[in-house]
Amino acid sequence: MIGTMLGNRYELIEKIGEGGMAVVYKAKCRILNRFVAIKILKPEYSNNSEFMEKFRREALATATFSHSNIVNIYDVGSEGNINYIVMELVNGKTLKEYIRENAPLSMDSTLKISIQIAKALECAHKNKIIHRDIKPHNILINEEGVIKVTDFGIAKATSSDTITHTNKVIGSAHYFSPEQAKGKIVDNRTDIYSFGIVIYEMLTGRVPFDGESAVAVALKHIQDTIVPPKVLVPEVPDSLNNLVIKATQKEVIKRYNNVTDMLIDLMRIENNNKYIVTPSNMDNDYTTVMDATQIQNTMYASNLGKKLTNKDMDDEEEEEEEEEDEDYEDYDGEKRKTSTWKKVLIVGGALLLTILLGVFVGTSIYNKGNSNVKKDELRVPKIIGLTEDEAKDAVEKLGLTYVVLGEEASDKPAGTIIAVFPSEGTAVKKESEVRVRISTGPGEIEVPDVVKLGKSVAQDHIVTQGLKVGKITEDYSEEIEEGAVISTNPAAKTKVKKGDTVDIVISKGSRIKKTQVPDLIGLTLKEAEQVLAVVNLKLGSTTAVITDDISRDGKIFNQSEPALTSVQENEKISVNYYQYKDPDEGKVEVPNFIGRTIEDAQATANSLGFRITVTGDRKGLIISQDVPEGNKLDKGSTINLIAQIKAPNIGGDDDDDDEP
């Protein structure tokens, strides 16, 4: 598929993911010149015209609204046998990957992620879109920590009986609601249940129910109780523990009525982890047995393997249809043909087992309906502190089922019980599960890798691993951003004992601080000095350039480093600025020399600082000057004068010698 061009605009560049129903590629849009993600449905879904119509309709519906925590859908198309969705490319990882790398998550991290998921679901629900497949695999977290919920279109177009068709989608079974497992009508509270399971996994690092098949997991969603996350991770605050319990109630009516209410509780817990979230009655949720009505609903929903079409989702009558033979993969990856009747037998056999179990238990309850129900109740024995063998014996002697949740390092002797659920003394039905955690003693654990994490997140992560935070020091780092962890002592992955101390070094950022040069053009020297100080720079040399434009006086017109240039802090920035000078400043006004004698003109010029030159009769009067009266000249300037020229004596006699 690499190199394939879809819709004459999307070139597939590389495969970046694969799920049960689709393969995701990174692609380049040749028209808008941007990278996108393209999800291409696998052939077993692309060949189903009914599925494709739903898929296209729901994908387009999702594209009608936009939210910062929802992956944007840009386009939906088909080309030959290829059906695809074009969507926003998110550079990051799935929440599932993030949980695997960091579980259990701290309360702060869990809340930050959960609040964003809740906002995405709130937007979808307000637009009348139910996701129906909320799980960590469908939640992306980008490099900035922003959450993006995806796969709205596929989730909505997939019917709840998909899990009975192939084991390949078992992943979804871990997160779907009891009503989905029963094939009942779903609403927005189905997403709330799945969302609660996601929060559970973030807090504990595991899903509450697991099994060898999708059907086995589905039955646990219907019948088994969820072990509160606080039992698995004692550091989980009561507020968040109760929120998860409330969101994952088996009865829809006991959950949050809408995701907005859940979002409000999450935000209140973020502000105050002691905020009280009142959960529904957990006792009613401990042991649930499918009654006759539930069994009928399950039969109706599955219709012994036929395709489910919920009236509330499709707004059309349910029609029986023949399923054509289709290829699907087993766990070993080999493809084989399976006829419709074989599918019916496989699914029907599993459902028949469920029905018989339900009828058996239902009949048992009915037969004892007139007797005192309390006769069937037992009390969980006191087993904390006992050895595993002693505890197992005590539990099984009462007719209860002994289940080991796991082992954990503690200060209690190895092999002893350190936690039990339900708690000791709780009333339960016969054959109910009693789940325990066993101490491995003060065994060794690994120092978690908290490098590049923020200080508070790193501290939380260390504490949740059963370790203590020791000395916190600071140092410069050219690689780790300010406020994040540079290193730990002992180093990550080092084996230590529970309760040991881990020192952390926090980055002060780069030793050589960088800053951007501001734009100083048009500022005065004083203004420039103030602006530079804000970004830890200094004003360097200043050079004045004379101007006769008074409007430019004092304004900077050039700077040694251009604006937005990155420089070291405390660097000096030199500037050139204009200095106004009156063009007439220091000049003297030229007087009127005309009509004066040369001697008088010379005396006047000397007094004003001018020099004069005279042409003509030295005894005559001044008749012309080259610089008009009133003009201004610098002192020392020369003014050229012309004196009257005497007419020559035709008779040859000198007038001065004439006698009357």
Contact between 151 and 95 (Cβ < 8 Å): no
What contacts 24+ positions apart, CB below 8 Å, involve 26-34? 26/89, 27/86, 29/86
Using DSSP, how many helices (H) and how many strands (E) does the chain show? 19, 31
Phi, psi for 644 (deg, rounded to 5): -65, 135
Catalytic annotation, residues: 143
Contact between 11 and 4 (Cβ < 8 Å): yes
Cα distance between residue 226 and residue 241, in whole Å: 11
Residue 179 tokens read as 């009503």
CB under 8 Å to 113, separation ≥6 — which residues? 95, 105, 141, 147, 202
Cα distance between residue 246 and residue 224, in whole Å: 15
Contact between 440 and 470 (Cβ < 8 Å): no
3-state secondary structure 500-528: CEEEEEEECCCCCCEEECCCCCCCCHHHH
Cα distance between residue 418 and residue 410, in whole Å: 8
Residue type, 184: K
Terminal CA-to-CA distance of the chain, rounded, Å? 132
Contact between 443 and 498 (Cβ < 8 Å): yes
Beta bridge partners of 83: 78
Q: Which of 511, 435, 436 is nearest to 475 (CA)?
A: 511
Residue 292 tokens read as 């006759």
Beta bridge partners of 37: 26, 87
Cα distance between residue 133 and residue 153, in whole Å: 10
Beta bridge partners of 421: 435
Cα distance between residue 657 and residue 655, in whole Å: 5
Which residue spans within 537-592 are E strands per DSSP? 538-547, 556-559, 566-568, 572-580, 587-589
**CA distances, 571 to each of 95, 185, 356, 498, 543 (Å):** 44, 68, 83, 50, 18
* Element (DSSP H or E) covering residue 74: strand 73-79
Q: Which residues of 214-240 are buried (b: 16+ CB within 10 A; e: fewer)?
A: bbebbbbbbbbbbbbbbbbbeebbbbb
Cα distance between residue 6 and residue 36, in whole Å: 12
Helix/strand/coil for 153: helix
Is the Cα torsion angle 464, 469, 473, 475 positive or negative in sign?
Answer: negative
Helix/strand/coil for 12: strand
